[in-house]
Structure 1
Amino acid sequence: MLCKIALGNVRRAGKDYLIYLLTLTLAVTVFYAFNTISVQVDVAGVTEQNAGMGETLGGIISGLTIFLGFVMGFLMVYANNFIMKRRKKEFGLYQVLGMSRGQVALIMAMETLFVSAAALVLGILCGLGLSWLMVFFTASIFKTQIADFHFFFSLGAFMITVGCLVAIFIVTLIFNLRVVARAKIIDLMSAGRKNEVVRMRNPWVSAAVCLVGAVAIGVAYARLLHDGLPYDGAPEAMTNFLITTITVVVGTILFFFGLSGFLLKVLQAARGLYWRGLNMVTMRQLAAKVNTVSFSMAMIAMILFLAITSVTAGMSLASVMNETVERGTPVDYSRTLVYFSQETADEMNSISASEDGEGKRYAPATGPVDIIEASANDTVAFDTSKEHAFDLAAIAGKHVQIDAYDSRPRGESMPVVTLNELCDAVHMDLPAGTENSDATSQGLMVVKESNYNEYLRFRGMEPLDLGEDGYTITSDMGATVNDVYNAVLREGVELEISGRTLKPVQDKVNEDASTFINAMFGMNAGTIILPDDLVDSLDLPPYNSYLLLDYADGISTEEGDAFINEYRYYGDVTDGQGQIIGSWGTEATRTESYESVDSMNGLISYLAIYIGFVLVVACAAIVTIQQLSGVADASENYRILSELGTERRDIAHSVLAQQTVFFVFPLALGVAHSCVALSVIVKLVELFGGFSIGGAAAFTAAIFVVAYGGYFFVTYLMSKGIIRDATRIRRSL
């Protein structure tokens, strides 16, 4: 009997359950589809190129799903609150007719179970379709061809989704039982006549509060634009960023707290507009809700800001890596050797002596060493019967070594050229993110003209002629750094080095001729090319050596990569006296660089879309439930307006205006916050390559149109239904 009543209630109250069902169905759809990522990468053929990526992505998404499941659980409690407010009188009537609270609670539990089961079925069906479509998205991200597409069902993703749904169901059920257990029958029966107590605030006070909030937001914007992001983790920078964050949060709350009163005052001043139609009613209702929705609107604006920023920045960052990886991987294999300075050698000797007594000895490098020869100190298949030296020469085809020198002459602390000095010369600010870089503290690296010309010939480019007094600058970083170097070259800035006046021989940085190592991002923050005799006279210590190597003819990419990737023990780089003068830096094959980019693209793209979509749905659902609750509470007022002769269409327009404010204003402020934050992020990421947010912004806008706009549309349609029901009572009396 109770089951029959519960099932009938669900059918009869279908409109009340629509938002609950829609949000829960979307959650199940997204949870299932994104948790099939490990299967998707298999179907898309990603594991053939990047083994383990599916498990990595799947593990991260699974953990994130559990967190988002808790978020959606509390959201469902909020959504269920609307249903409870609409049906309190009904539940009170059950008790008046003789049902116990336990029976009423059981009916509520079965209703919640039926709706959750329906959401599970609909969500899994939609999730299956979405997961199959996402296979093609996965293939496009990882740049693979789908050789054997087939439909699939992931039991693991299904179990995770069901687990989250069960958790949501339990949380919702506990809330429902708590409401029934605490509520008195008289309160349930009179729920339809009890309205929220609101206190209207002085419009002038509200206007002042709104203005203070707007000023606080402006101050936070100015601070962020001035200070930037605390990318270096310095305590002072973190403190400033915390102050900025608190300022914008408080400002957002104050802005919404005083917004309705401010608008009311403005419209009251425009009497012709204020007294037109139901504008007075609309503004009074907006002002009356300030007690309950100002904080939630502020939080929604901040959450939307996080969603917009995460999706746009994440997708744009993935785009940067796609654009830079091709230029950043000029050869089949690259390897870096980092030389010890006198300070580093002394420190290493001190550590070695304290740990090993007469252990290894370290010394500063007197000059560059041949990387191919030094690589023979590595041991392949170390400590096995197949142990042998790592012979790079066996696979080496065309190759070149670039030797970069520290710009601080031996025995001196000041570099011959620094980024700071170049910025001052062209009256430009130091690029964000470079304050602690080597180009700032230690100066630009130095490469000899003859060595750089060897590199240019290796790359198939024309060599340079610096003459006696020429120089040029190379860098494969983004615009924020290269704009400085381009200005220096374009304006013909003269450099005084060791008594010689040097002039640039180029008018801009050749980014294609600036990559010294395979990498996803730019790694050459600034290298100055100087005449050989000048470098020799400066007595500069070696800093780095870079080996760029293509595999020999007859050795395929797969064979060369297998040779490089075979497990080996890295040997010491020593001088003629057995002293260690350097350590091995990064090494990467072209294949590894592309796979790393694909992996990062997949991880960033999936997390950005996943988090962004769920946050948008959560915000939209919260606003929807708020507005539907408000319309339901005000239904008696709408009935009175209808009895006074107001057209139902005018009432609906008044409700639409109110809902537009509550949907659009948090979104507008969230977009404003995001624009300022993204402008700072763009400058920082431009250090590593071209950064464009156009495509990502369009993608983000599409998410908002579908999710946020869809909820807005559903909210208005349901509100019209509530108004229609309320005004129909007048005609039946």
Structure 2
Amino acid sequence: MYFKLALKNVKKSYRDFSVYFITLTFAVAFFYVFNSFEQQRVILQLNEVQGFMFESLSIIMDVISVIVALVFAYLIIYANNFLIRRRKKELATYTLLGMKKSTISKILIYESSVIAFVSLIVGVALGTGLSHIFVLLTAKILSVTVNYGFIFSITALIKTVGIFALLFGVVMIFNSRVLNKYKLIDLLQADRKNDETVVKQTKLSVFVFILGAVLLGIAYKWVLIPGEIVFSLFPIIALGIIGTVLVFKGLAGFMLKFIQSNKSVYYHGLNTFVFRQLSSKINVTYKTMATISILILFGVGTLVTGFNINNVLASQINQSIASDLNVVLKDDSRKFKYDPSSVKEEIITTTYIESNPEIVSQLETLSGGSEVVKVATLQYMSVSDFNKHLKEHGEKGIDLKEGEFSLSTIPYNMNRTTKFLPEMISDGSELKVSNAKLKYKKIGEVSSLITINNDLRNVYLIVNDSELKTLLNNQSIQVSSVMTRHSFELNKDVDSYAFKDKLVHDNNLDENSDLVLSAQEMLDQMSGVELTLAYISIYLGPVFLITCAVILALQQLSEATDNKKRYKVLSDLGVDSKLIKSSVLKQISVYFLIPLSIGLLHSYVGVKAVAGSFTAAYKESIISFAPTVTILVFVLGIYMVYFWITYKGSLAIILED
């Protein structure tokens, strides 16, 4: 009997449960998709490196799933709180009819079970379909072939069911505690109680608002300093959260007075009623609205930075590739064996590691105090060997006379400046090496030439061939080792992994002392990073954003129930339905717009801070127009969907007979 009553309640109150159900279905679908990630391996042709990265990403997804589960736990409990609040009179009726609280709790458990069961069925079905779409995304990022076929992850299903069973168990305990807390008189008079104003003094409210704005300004200025978003992330976030809460708290106290000062606006239509309702609601929910703004920051920031950083990383990895395969030997006395039929072109160069601190100190001074030289490995290279690399990259050779030197490195800034080392030294600057004096000669863009795959920390001091021999014969120069580089461009159909394995085996290379690194290996590793960033962005971003929209929607639907009698009075006084619809639209619009605006402002500053740090480090902006605009349209689309559902649901509640 109680189950039938619960089922009837769900059918009767489908408008109340619609937003809740849709959100739970989405949550189940996404939770299933990202926990079925490992199952994608069945239909993807992955090499060994990609397979390892796939396993690592699966572990990351499991960790993030815990965070997502906590977010949804908060959402479910929050939604239940509002649904119970709306149904207080119904629960009071059950009590007057003689039902025990344990029986009422049982009905609520049945209702939750019905919603949970249906959302699980629909969500898993939707998630199964989405998982096949995500396989295509994975294949595109990794550039692998897909063996098309149906996949279904039992492991993901068990995890999804287990997590949501646990969440609903918490909800049932929460419902029982809420019921035990309420007295009958509280339930009967639920719709007569007005919300208390948190801040009643206008001057104090303005002061609190200004204080919050100042704290936000400090947080904004702090985070925009290049690199501080990494080194001072947590104190910046804490300062931003405090500032956001104070801004909303202050706004709640003086908003009504501010609107009342503009009489033409305040007394227009039903604005008197609308703004009083808004002021009363914000007084109670200012903490929630502040939380929503912060979650919007995390959601938008995760999506924008995640996808834009991918573009930069792809560009950086391409700049870090010298050839199809590099071998760096620390002993050039051996005969090097390889299959010549596999190689299209070979280049051999030799460099000499310099460990004289005097040279490093001089370069640091000449570059205006740059610490790049201190943390890099300084090496000598002859101009003829350097020109071999230039030719390999399609560049013209350079000429250095005796007594001249130049520098080559990549445009990577470890001291977060906008220039890189070769640009920091003035043309003609003198470098003293023992008894010789060398003059610096700038060589333009080719100074950022990469000579070894993934060559991130080497700085090459390039000199004339005859000068190099003189410097190396001088006893004051400390040469710690000699390295010979074999740089290969492989034939089109050669497998770089197989070529590398044979090279290591035939030449008895020690990968601890020698270095063998293929371009394909670097690209596979970077595609794994891109895949990780993309999946984390897609997983966390929409979860945060939809959570915000759902909370706003549920609050406004609950508010519509509270305001139903008030709108009925207005209707009895002769206010037509068109004006009532307009006032509902205004109230919901303002309530959605305020946290969205502050959240987007936070997001703008946060994304700008990340972009600034990347630009300082890599001399390249991470923000691309197309993906950023697409993400913003997606964010606004989510809000428009929930806004429209909320508006229509509120009208149905207010205008129903």
Q: Same-fold call, TM > 0.5?
A: yes
Structure 2 residue 270 is the aligned partner of structure 1 residue 267 = no
> Cα offset for 1:259?
2.1
For residue 362 of structure 2, the aligned residue among 416, 421, 424 is 416
CA distance in 2, matches of 1:28, 1:668: 29
Q: Deviations along 1:509-531, whole A, 9 cap, x unmatched?
A: 454xx112223xx6157544333
Change (3 A) 1:401 1:532: closer
What residue is the counterpart of 2:240 in the other structure?
248
Deviation at 1:50, TM superposition (A): 1.9
Distance 1:559 1:441, change over 3 A: closer
Q: Which residue of 1 aligns with 2:598?
A: 669
Q: Residues 527 and 635 (structure 1 numbering): CA distance in 2 closer, same or farther, change over 3 Å?
A: farther
Alpha-carbon distance, 1:217 to partner: 1.1
CA contact (8 A) 1:402 1:516 kept: no
Q: For the residues of structure 2 that align with 1:70 and 1:212, how far apart are their CA atoms?
A: 32
539, 549, 573: which is aligned to 2:487?
549
Output aligned runs, 1:213-232, within 5 Å: 213-226=212-225, 228-229=227-228, 231=230
Higher mean alpha-carbon deviation, 28-37 vs 619-628, is at 619-628
**What is the CA–CA distance in structure 2 between the aligned matches of 1:21 and 1:542, rounded to whole Å?**
70
Matched, 1:474 2:418: no
Change in CA separation of 1:452 and 1:279 when aligned onto 2, cut-off 3 Å: same
SS in structure 1 opposite 2:347?
Answer: strand
Instruction: Indicate the residue corresponding to 1:173 in structure 2.
Output: 172
Q: How does 1:709-724 map to 2 (within 5 A)?
A: 709-724=640-655
Determine the structure 2 residue equivalent to 1:561: 500
Q: Distance in 2 between matches of 1:644 and 1:567?
A: 95
* 1:394 matches 2:364: no
Distance change >3 Å, CA 116–CA 547, structure 1 → 2: same
Which of 428, 431, 443 matches 1:506? 443
Q: Is residue 690 from structure 1 mapped to residue 628 from structure 2 by the alignment?
A: no
Asked if the contact 1:330–1:515 (Cα under 8 Å) also holds between the matched residues in 2, the reply is yes
Q: Aligned AA for 1:104?
A: I
Distance 1:282 1:548, change over 3 A: farther
TM-score, normalised with respect to structure 2 = 0.88
Task: For residue 130 of structure 1, report the CA deviation from its aligned partner.
Answer: 1.0
Cα distance, 1:589 vs structure 2: 1.7
**Conservation of the 8 A alpha-carbon contact between 1:467 and 1:531:** yes
Cα pair 1:516 1:524 within 8 Å, conserved: no
1:529 aligns with 2:447: no
Partner of residue 60, structure 2 = 60
Supply the AA of the counterpart residue of 2:347. Answer: H
Distance 1:15 1:502, change over 3 A: same
**Offset, 1:643:** 2.5
CA distance in 2, matches of 1:566, 1:64: 41
| Distance apart, 1:26 and its partner CA | 0.7
1:233-280 Cα distance to aligned partner (Å, 9 max, x none): xxxx55xx5543332222111111112444434433332222222223
Distance in structure 2 (CA, Å) of the matches to 1:277 and 1:438 = 66
The question of whether the paired residues in 2 share the 8 Å contact of 1:313 and 1:696 is answered with no
Residues 482 and 224 (structure 1), Cα distance of their counterparts in 2 relative to 1, 3 Å cut: closer
Contact 2:327–2:517 at 8 Å: present in 1 too? Answer: yes
Alignment match, 2:106? 106
> Counterparts in 2 of 1:568-647, with a 5 A limit?
584=513, 587-647=516-576
Q: Which runs of 5+ in 2 are unaligned?
A: none
What is the aligned partner in structure 2 of residue 203 from structure 1? 202
The answer as to 2:315 corresponding to 1:323 is yes
Shift, 1:118, TM fit: 1.0
Structure 2 counterpart of 1:557, which letter? S
The DSSP-based 3-state class of the residue aligned with 1:416 is helix
Partner SS for 1:613: helix
SS of 1:99's equivalent? coil
SS in 1 for 2:487: strand
Cα gap change, 1:413 to 1:672, in 2 (>3 Å): same
Q: C-alpha offsets along residues 381-415 of structure 1, whole Å, 9 cap, x if unaligned?
A: xxxxxxxxxx8523575132342544x636x3752
Which AA in structure 2 matches 1:547? R
Helix, strand or coil for the counterpart of 1:52? helix
**Structure 1 alignment gaps of length 5 or more:** 232-236, 338-368, 374-390, 425-429, 431-436, 573-582, 729-733
Task: State the partner residue of 1:465.
Answer: 399
- Matches of 2:302 and 2:506, distance apart in 1: 38
**CA distance in structure 2 between the partners assigned to 1:543 and 1:212 by the alignment:** 59
Percent of aligned positions that are identical: 26
Q: Which residue of 1 aligns with 2:635?
A: 704
SS in 1 for 2:349: strand
Which protein is richer in helix relative to its size? 2
Closer, same or farther in 2 for the Cα pair 1:230/1:79, shift >3 Å? closer
From 452, 476, 489, give the equivalent of 1:517.
452
Hey, what's the Cα distance between the residues in 2 that align with 1:145 and 1:518? Answer: 26
How far 1:109 sits from its partner (Å)? 0.9
Report what 1:357 is aligned to. Answer: none
Q: Which sits farther off after the overlay, 36-45 or 83-92?
A: 36-45
Tell me the amino acid that sits aligned with residue 23 of structure 2. Answer: T
Against the structure 1 CA distance between its residues 487 and 401, is the aligned structure 2 distance closer, same or farther, given a 3 Å change threshold?
closer
Question: In 2, Cα distance between the equivalents of 1:63 and 1:198?
Answer: 41
CA RMSD of aligned residues (A): 3.2
Over 3 Å counting, the alpha-carbon distance change for 1:555 and 1:248 in structure 2 is closer
In structure 2, the CA distance between the partners of 1:199 and 1:452, relative to structure 1 (3 Å rule), is closer
The alignment's TM-score, normalised by the length of structure 1, stands at 0.79
Instruction: Mark the CA change 1:650 to 1:335 in structure 2 (over 3 Å): closer, same or farther.
Output: farther
- Compared with structure 1, are the counterparts of its residues 672 and 547 closer, same or farther at alpha carbon in structure 2 (3 Å cutoff)? farther
| Contact 1:41/1:135 (8 A) holds in 2 | no
Q: Which moved more, 1:248-257 or 1:447-456?
A: 447-456
User: Counterparts of 1:724 and 1:548 in 2: how far apart (Å)?
Assistant: 80
Partner Cα distance (2:506, 2:185) in 1: 77
User: Does the C-alpha gap of structure 1 residues 198 and 552 become closer, same or farther in structure 2, counting only changes over 3 Å?
Assistant: closer
Kindly tell me: are residues 336 and 652 of structure 1, through their superposed partners in 2, closer, same or farther at Cα, counting changes over 3 Å?
Answer: farther
Match of 1:278 in 2: 270
